[in-house]
Structures are given as structure tokens and as C-alpha cells.
Amino acid sequence: MNRLFKLLIAAALGTFVLSACDDNRLKPDDPDSGKNTLIDLLNAEDKLYQDLTLTSSAMGRTMTYSVWLPNGYDASKKYPFLYLLHGYESGDQSHLDRCWVEKGKAREIAQEYVKGNGVPMVIIMPNGLSSFYRGTYETFLYDELMPKVESSFGCNGKRAIAGLSMGGYGTLYNALKYPAKFKYAYAMSPASDYASFTALIDAQSDKKVFPGFTIEVGTEDTTVNNADSEKVANYMKEKGLSCEWIARSGVHYWNFWQECLPKALKKAGESFK
């Protein structure tokens, strides 16, 4: 019996390896692809799909995005979503949706969060190119990407947004411009624009519509303007918004943001309850 079981496992693993070599990524039009294999059942773990593609009319090109599904993900249920934004990267921008996983350890950090009784959530990591997540990118995000992923992976209508550097800018910009869409916004080492951000705050007559915010910066970071970010945080507080300001030792690098992410997940999870 043990020998038979081992043979079955070996056959299943062989099939999995062959299919993985061919294409182990989920197709955008087939969100159930790759599920319920024997290896999935044995691992009973999370799932990560990278370089999924969506042809965007707004961007005039094919866009990539990655999706992390939490431990114990059940396709019959609905989940809150976290949109996790990368920073500015020079060079080839074809696969920037991989940044948070390959450099930020997002998968490992999210696994630990859920295993520690955190709120299971779906994490969407879009390719932001060098857009700062504004302009035509807003049309892509809200009219193309969100409807696609939230239908495919089951969104319960609750969202948070987080990001670093350029993605920190995108986090603040989008949560301030479209406040009703998000429950929480966590900006890490954000590029800042005091005039634009305060104008977005002033444009909303009902300040209660805004989500909660955290802005976290490294005190040794000379890449972005921390003083401007602190002015934004103070303006938020003056106008009655909830904004946590964290300034701690650190520079503009991935080890700092890896320490930010568990806090961002915790804040997002609390906002989803």
C-alpha cells in the first residue's frame, strides 16, 4: 500500500513538473487553472500567479499583474483585496509586477500574516510602469484591472491600497482622489506632492469619506522628501483625517519596506473587519 501511494505521488509530481515547465501561471481568463491538483491538496498552502496579462485599451499595451491567494483560499468565497504597488524601476519594465515578491518577500510575509490569524486577503500586484499610478493609469486600474481581478478572484467589496516610493505616491494619490474605494492606505517612503495631495483633500467636502492612512518613512532616506510627506500627514490631521506618521531609522531600500509590509497587512486586515 505504501509503495502504491509513493508511486501515485511520484506520478502526480511528475505531471506537475511537466506542466510547470510548460506554463505554471494562471491565465487571466481561467482563474481556476492549476487548482485542485494533488500537489495543491498535499501542500494546502497559498498560491502565487505572476505575469498574468491584460490587454489595456487605456494604456495601449498588454499589462502584467501578479496575484497572491491566501492560505486556504476558497474560490466559492469572497475576500477583501489589497492592491500592492511597486516603486519606480529603470530599465525593462515588462515584469514589474514581480517586484514585491522577488525583492520585497511579499509572499513569505503574507503567508506568515495569515498563519498568525491575520485576515485572509487577495493581494493584487499590478505593473505600474513609470506612471505614478495616475493619469491614463487610473482608467486602466479602475475600468479594466479592478473589474477583471475582482470578478475572477472574488472581491467582497472591501479594498486597501499600499505601496513604496512611486507606489507610496500612488497610494496617497488614489486613496485621496477615490477615498470611497478603499478602507485603508499605507504609504511607505512615498514620493510626495504637498500641493496636489492637499488639493485632493480640500476637494472632498465630507472628510469622513476618507480611509485611514499610515505614512512610514526612513529617517536616513534622502531619495524622497520626508519633510513634504510629514507636512501632508499634518494637513490630513488638521482636516480631521486619520493619519499615522511613522519615522524610524532606515533608508530607501527593500529591507526597510519588508519591515513595513507586515504593518500594512495588519492595518488593512483591521480595516476589513
Residues 12 and 143 in one domain: no
Range of the domain at 247: 52-272
Mean pLDDT of 23-52: 56
Q: In what order do the strands lie in the sheet with 155-164?
A: 47-56, 61-69, 122-126, 79-85, 155-164, 184-188, 212-218, 243-248
> How remote is the C-alpha of 156 from its chain's centroid?
16
Tell me, what's the pLDDT at 138?
98
Tell me, what's the pLDDT at 33?
39
Share above pLDDT 70 across residues of the chain, in percent, rounded to a whole number: 84
Residues 159 and 230 in one domain: yes
Higher pLDDT, 32 or 223: 223
State the chain's mean pLDDT as an integer.
88
| Count: domains in the chain | 2
What does the pLDDT look like over 79-132, one tens digit per residue?
999 999 999 998 889 999 999 999 999 999 999 999 999 999 999 999 999 999
What does the pLDDT look like over 175-187, one tens digit per residue?
999 999 999 999 9
195 burial level (CB within 10 Å; 0-12, 13-18, 19+): exposed
Residues 37 and 132 in one domain: no
Distance separating alpha carbons of residues 144 and 55, to the nearest angstrom: 9
Residues 79 and 5 in one domain: no
What's the Cα-to-Cα distance from 245 to each of 81, 154, 188, 226, rounded to whole Å? 24, 32, 10, 11
Share above pLDDT 90 across residues of the chain, in percent, rounded to a whole number: 82
Residues 12 and 77 in one domain: no
Q: Is the pLDDT of residue 26 over 90?
A: no
Tell me, what's the pLDDT at 15?
34
Residues 170 and 228 in one domain: yes
Q: Is the pLDDT of residue 64 over 60?
A: yes
C-alpha cell at 270: 483591521
Mean pLDDT of 16-44: 39
- The residues that bridge with 159 in the sheet, in sequence order, are 81
- At 45, the pLDDT band (50, 70, 90 cuts) reads confident
Residues 31 and 105 in one domain: no
What does the pLDDT look like over 141-173, one tens digit per residue?
999 999 999 999 999 999 999 999 999 999 999
- Judged by DSSP in three states, 71 sits in coil
Tell me, what's the pLDDT at 261?
98
Q: Is the pLDDT of residue 14 over 60?
A: no
Tell me, what's the pLDDT at 99?
97
What's the Cα-to-Cα distance from 235 to each of 141, 183, 231, rounded to whole Å? 27, 20, 6
**DSSP letter for each residue of 239-255:** TT--EEEEEES--SSHH
Strand pairing report for 122-126 and 155-164:
unpaired
Tell me, what's the pLDDT at 38?
47
Residues 155 and 34 in one domain: no
Residues 215 and 83 in one domain: yes
Residues 151 and 225 in one domain: yes
Tell me, what's the pLDDT at 31?
41
Q: Is the pLDDT of residue 208 over 90?
A: yes
Q: Is the pLDDT of residue 213 over 90?
A: yes
Residues 167 and 79 in one domain: yes
Residues 28 and 56 in one domain: no
Give the CATH number of the domain where residue 118 resides: 3.40.50.1820
What does the pLDDT look like over 1-13, one tens digit per residue?
444 444 333 333 3
C-alpha cell at 226: 520626508
